[in-house]
Amino acid sequence: MDSLAQELGKTTLSNSVLENHANDVSTTVRSSNKKNKKKGAVAEGEKEQVENEVLRDTEPDADDGDDDDEDEETETTGASATTATGAKKKKKKKNNKKKKKVQTDPPTIPVSALYPSKIYPEGEVCEYKNDNLWRTTDEEKRALEKQNSDLYNDARRAAEVHRQVRQYARRHIKPGMTMTEICELIENGTRTLVEAKGFESGIAFPTGCSLNHCAAHYTPNAGDKIVLQYGDVCKIDFGVHVNGRIIDSAFTMTFDPVYDNLLAAVKDATNTGVREAGIDVRLGDIGAAIQEVMESYEVEIGGKTYQVKPIRNLTGHSIDLYKIHGTKAVPIVNNGDQTKMEEGEYFAIETFGSTGRGDVHYDMETSHYARAYDIPKTSIRLPKAKSLFDTINREFGTLPFCRRYLDRVGEKNYSLALKSLCDSGHVSGYPPLVDIKGCFTAQFEHTIVMKPTHKEVLSRGDDY
């Protein structure tokens, strides 16, 4: 019996050991499974974190003022989920700001697309001087200025077109180009950027590209083969209008530094005219200031020194709606004119300097024309002339045009008809204006407006 009891005890002990060993194995297996699951969860979490980061990088940004609160909520309420995935889902502030459009080269984007608000950049603002300084803070004048904001905005749109087109032109005009290529470069850019549409917006007058002793009113006619040379002095004068509000601005291009002082003299003279202009200022006083500055310059060309002379029979001018030359002339010499500038008026302050006589006359083939502001009552007898006059009225109205523009709208064999219209007074021709051959002339010009509180140099840019 004792031996049997001992055997049974051994058997029981053995079974207990086996059972305990089995339990240990089971525990080990469960622990191993848990570890494997945890590793899998961590790996899965890391994978999801990488995917989330990739998604965040590829999603467009947008501003969200509640991001911080949402992050805290995610960390608190989503703790168990975060533990399960092994990574916290973080939100990044988004930015939906659209990139501002930039003008192309050559310019192809209308300025209205560059300024979606349709509010265009203000020109250089200059306070009036002396007795008119009070206008700056006067409430009545501020209110009046606000009433005309749409008119100023039209002028600023035209001015921005001018700035962008001329900046492109100044970079790309080079010796070896024909004058026709230069004009078409400028005119095509203007039409595109201002979205040319008849009398709503477009080119204000033919592009002038007068060379050397020719000071103004030259643009190439069809067949013109003149090529820009390294030693040329080229005046680029072009205009833009929006709803008849004209920006008239000009600059001079040279490639030989020998002419630098000539250009400096004329630019300084124009800036002097802009500075002296103001409400109630006498036009003759502006001319006197311009003359004094310009004649203080000398330029040495070919071993000979020349005093820069203002071209006394060329002037700046007032600008009216759809009318490039208003009733007032701004002299560039002291001519004693007592006429005053007035509130609300627009002026082209332009000066011409010359190494010649300082006096111009008509010469060369006419290219510039304009319909008479006051149409004569006499009838047009020639049928072709009547048809041409209808085209001029329809396409240009009172805005100046050139023969290339008539070619562009499909007119043909119009020389006799155009001469007939000039003879009857329905159209006026403006031949090129030249000083003595062999001399050099330069020009700079800005458009300003006499606003109620201050004057604004609408066409001012970084270039001049």
pLDDT tier at 100, thresholds 50, 70, 90: confident
Give the pLDDT confidence of 305-351 residue by residue, as tens digits: 999 999 999 999 999 999 999 999 999 999 999 999 999 999 999 99
Catalytic residue chosen out of the listed positions 276, 320, 445, 456: 445
Question: Catalytic annotation on 150?
Answer: no
325 known member of a binding site: yes
DSSP, residue by residue, 409-464: TT--S-HHHHHHHHHHTSEEEE--EE-STT--EEEEEEEEEE-SS-EEETT--S--
Using the CB atoms, write b or e for 68-94: b if 16+ within 10 Å: eeeeeebeeeeeeebeebbbbbeeeee
Question: Catalytic annotation on 325?
Answer: yes
Question: Catalytic annotation on 139?
Answer: no
248 known member of a binding site: yes
Give the pLDDT confidence of 126-171 residue by residue, as tens digits: 999 989 999 999 999 999 999 999 999 999 999 999 999 999 999 9
Catalytic residue chosen out of the listed positions 145, 187, 248, 395: 248
Contact call for residues 87 and 46 (beta carbons, < 8 A) = yes
* pLDDT above 70 for 41: no
pLDDT tier at 24, thresholds 50, 70, 90: very low
Mean pLDDT across 289-298: 98
pLDDT of residue 1: 39
CB contact set of 461 (below 8 Å; sequence gap of 6+): 163, 166, 167
pLDDT tier at 92, thresholds 50, 70, 90: low
Catalytic residue chosen out of the listed positions 145, 187, 232, 237: 237
pLDDT of residue 164: 98
* Nearest C-alpha neighbor of 234 from the set 159, 188, 170, 304: 170
Catalytic residue chosen out of the listed positions 154, 350, 395, 435: 350
User: Could you give the 3-state DSSP secondary structure of residue 210?
Assistant: strand
Catalytic residue chosen out of the listed positions 162, 325, 368, 426: 325
Question: Catalytic annotation on 445?
Answer: yes
Contact call for residues 215 and 352 (beta carbons, < 8 A) = yes
Contact call for residues 438 and 245 (beta carbons, < 8 A) = no
Give the pLDDT confidence of 1-10 residue by residue, as tens digits: 344 334 434 4
pLDDT of residue 85: 46
* pLDDT above 50 for 11: no
Give the pLDDT confidence of 195-229 residue by residue, as tens digits: 999 999 999 999 999 999 999 999 999 999 999 99
Full strand arrangement of the beta sheet holding 214-216: 214-216, 433-434, 361-362
Give the chain's radius of gyration (CA, Å).
39
pLDDT of residue 93: 59
* pLDDT above 90 for 53: no
237 known member of a binding site: yes
pLDDT tier at 99, thresholds 50, 70, 90: confident
Distance from C-alpha of 337 to C-alpha of 331, rounded to nearest angstrom: 8
DSSP, residue by residue, 119-148: -PPP-EEE---GGGGGGGT-HHHHHHHHHT
* pLDDT above 70 for 411: yes
Catalytic residue chosen out of the listed positions 162, 317, 446, 454: 317
Q: Considering only residues 279 and 88, tell me which one the structure prediction assigns the higher pLDDT.
A: 279
Question: Catalytic annotation on 162?
Answer: no
pLDDT of residue 414: 98
pLDDT of residue 243: 98
350 known member of a binding site: yes
Question: Catalytic annotation on 350?
Answer: yes
Q: Considering only residues 21 and 286, tell me which one the structure prediction assigns the higher pLDDT.
A: 286
407 known member of a binding site: no
